[in-house]
Amino acid sequence: MRHGHPGQLRKLAFLAAFAAASGLATGAANAEPKKPAKSEDGKYLDADGHPTYNISEEGKKVDWLTYSGYRRYHAECHTCHGPDGAGSTYAPALADSLKTLTYDKFQETVMGGKQDVNASENKVMPAFGGNKNVACYVDDLYVYLKARADDAWGRTRPGGHEDKPGAIAEAEKGCLGS
């Protein structure tokens, strides 16, 4: 019985170890997800009252905002900021930025835009306050990217998620005008 070339076996073992260590095998990342301080009207909140993620103990099910944020991010933001908030040659990695960026500064930047222009750089992010596909979901985007920044969720689409809470559905209707 032949088991393959030793070089191929080493390569397969390396790839399997890499996938397991990087969270590619499942959605879960390496860090133990932080638990929210409280839940209010279907949103999970941190100790400062800002929206946050809630990932199940098994790391396979996320809250609604994390799931919705993933979908919104890949519909509106990934073109510039790269897949999964990992950045690109065009715009920074938001998964890194949210390690230090506050909730308020995130909202301010998304809604109002940002411009850093000097002799060596011209960094411009347009304002998305007038785009309802972004403005109505800024909390969702923040929660998803915060989970990525905290290494609580890996670079995969959330498989399982909580149902959309009624209060979030109502807020969405009000924001979208439907």
Query: So what's the pLDDT on residue 64?
Result: 96
The architecture of the domain spanning 6-176 is Orthogonal Bundle (1.10)
Residue that is written with structure tokens 């133990």 in the block: 32
Query: So what's the pLDDT on residue 17?
Result: 45
Domain residues of the chain, as ranges?
6-176
Consecutive 10-residue averages of pLDDT for the chain (178 residues): 51 45 45 76 92 86 95 92 86 91 96 85 87 96 95 86 94 92
Q: Determine phi and psi for 36, rounding to 5 degrees.
A: -65, 155
Structure tokens at 157: 């689409």
Count Cβ atoms below 10 Å from residue 102 Cβ, excluding itself: 11
Give the containing element (helix H, strand E) for 115.
strand 114-117
What pTM value is reported for the model?
0.78
Residues 6+ apart with CB under 8 A from 176: 132, 136
pLDDT digits (tens, 9 = 90+) for 60-82: 899 999 999 999 999 999 888 98
Query: Can you tell me the distance from the alpha carbon of 113 to that of 105, in angstroms, rounded to the nearest whole number?
Result: 11
